[in-house]
Amino acid sequence: MDPFLAWLELTTFSTWVRESPSVFAFPAILSCHTVGMGLAAGINAALALRILGAAPGIAIHEMKRFFPVMWFGFWLNAISGVVLLIAYPTKALTNPLFYFKLALVAVAVALIGPITRRVFGNPDPMPAPIGRHVKRLAITSLVCWAGVIISGRLLAYTYSRLMQGF
Amino acid sequence: MATFQVWLVSTLVSAKPIGRLMHTRWGWPAAESIHFLGLSLLIGTIVLFDLRLLGMARRISIAALHKLVPWGLAGYATNLISGSFFLMAEPDQYIYNPAFHFKMLFMAVAGFNALSFYVIAARRTMGPGAEEEVPRAARIIAATSILMWIAVIVCGRLLTFYRPGGCGPEGPGFLAYCIPQIKRF
């Protein structure tokens, strides 16, 4: 028994998210988490695909205009993710896969800076061909985001404890 | 409609090898993972194109950005296949589920909306001599597309919250939202 998690699970907010029959409780938060996933992982994937040679006509440095939408998706997921964690803290925190997912998110986010500095930094109308190093970063980014999605999905199947005392 | 639904369920359930595959230890989670990867690929490419039509990143050529759309279609195809696997494995959980009915409705609207882009707006936005300003029709289509795909995602997530139970003595009604109490298979 962890006293903090036991307390957290009994708070009004945690109970509401978990047990409210309202569609605006758990279902709405899960929906936000999925839309945010599509925006965050999807827009990062679109940039990675462009770096790897898809749609070469796209002025790559102009793709930075789409990144506020990517960050919107990311923060939507950070917030909805915390809410889901408050609803079922034991379920996530006792599952090693949850930490693996967080580590992959950390790597994927850490890659955004190095990738975007290299491809958004140069507004040259005739940019130099994209180097092998950036392409390797793009592949790593794709793998990380795919890993985040898959491990997130598998959290529903791999937990050993649902709540304190269960 | 309810009769059609019963027929559809009995037809889908006859795909027994798919059902068996989906009910193995990792069948369902694997198909879900693939479904979510396809979703992200679709949203990441189609929504970017829609946002461009709505006026974001104006210095990116619409025709050039459109080259990402086949990747979105690949995501769509991935999800059509993985989605049909869920349907063949547990048909009555979908065919009698109101969230699924709405999901199909929004997918149909998204589909016709995308077709209408190619019929009425593609030439004016990315053909030779395309207008500088994106026509209003194309902007409406783009906004509709974003809204419909979000609605499809939300309905997908609502599926588990509107799982149908068995019908009461009053029977299923015109469009069944419950599992009719007849021999199903």
Token look-up 């939507």 returns A76
What is the pLDDT confidence band of residue A151, given thresholds at 50, 70 and 90? very high
Q: Test B44 with A37 for CB contact under 8 angstroms.
A: no
Distance from CA of A125 to the nearest CA of B (A): 11
Cα–Cα distance, A158 to B33 (Å, whole number) = 14
B74 touches chain A (CB under 8 A): no
Residue partners of B176: CB distance under 8 A and separation at least 6:
B1, B2, B5, B6, B95, B96, B164, B167
| Token pair of A50 as six digits | 């462009």
A45 contacts in B (CB within 8 Å)?
A: 40-41, 44
Q: Mean per-residue pLDDT for B89-98? A: 95
B61 contacts in A (CB within 8 Å)?
A: 57-59
Q: Mean per-residue pLDDT for A65-71? A: 98
Task: Say if residues B41 and A42 touch (Cβ distance below 8 Å).
Answer: yes
The CA R_g of chain A, rounded to the nearest whole Å, is 19
Q: Test B43 with A66 for CB contact under 8 angstroms.
A: no
Least CB–CB distance from A54: residue in B56, B71, B150 = B71
Distance from CA of A74 to the nearest CA of B (A): 13
Closest C-alpha among B50, B56, B53, B46 to residue B130: B53
Closest C-alpha among B169, B120, B165, B124 to residue B141: B120
- Strand (E) or helix (H) holding B92: helix B92-95
Cα–Cα distance, A134 to A115 (Å, whole number) = 6
What's the pLDDT tens digit per position in B149-164? Answer: 999 999 999 999 999 9
Segment 10-49 of chain B within 8 Å of chain A by CB: 29, 32-33, 36-37, 39-45, 47-48
Nearest CA in chain A to B41: A42
ipTM score here? 0.95
pLDDT of residue B185: 44
Q: Test B64 with A39 for CB contact under 8 angstroms.
A: no
| Token pair of B21 as six digits | 């595959």
Instruction: For chains A and B, count residue pairs whose Cβ atoms are closer than 8 Å.
Output: 116
Identify residue B13 by its one-letter amino acid code: V
Disruptive mutation site among B48, B49, B54 for chain A (greatest number of A CBs within 10 Å): B48
Count other Cβ atoms within 10 Å, centred on residue B55: 11
Q: Test A35 with B154 for CB contact under 8 angstroms.
A: yes
What's the pLDDT tens digit per position in A87-108? Answer: 999 999 999 999 999 999 999 9
Task: Say if residues B75 and B152 touch (Cβ distance below 8 Å).
Answer: no
Q: Test A149 with B40 for CB contact under 8 angstroms.
A: yes
Task: Say if residues A138 and A52 touch (Cβ distance below 8 Å).
Answer: yes
A147 contacts in B (CB within 8 Å)?
A: none
Q: Mean per-residue pLDDT for A23-29? A: 96
Closest C-alpha among A144, A151, A113, A149 to residue A33: A149
Portion of chain A with pLDDT greater than 70, in percent: 95
Disruptive mutation site among B39, B43, B45 for chain A (greatest number of A CBs within 10 Å): B43
Closest C-alpha among A66, A70, A69 to residue A141: A70
A41 contacts in B (CB within 8 Å)?
A: 40, 44
Identify residue A10 by its one-letter amino acid code: L
- Ranges A11-15, A69-73, B124-128, B159-163: which has the least confidence: B124-128
| Token pair of A147 as six digits | 């890993």
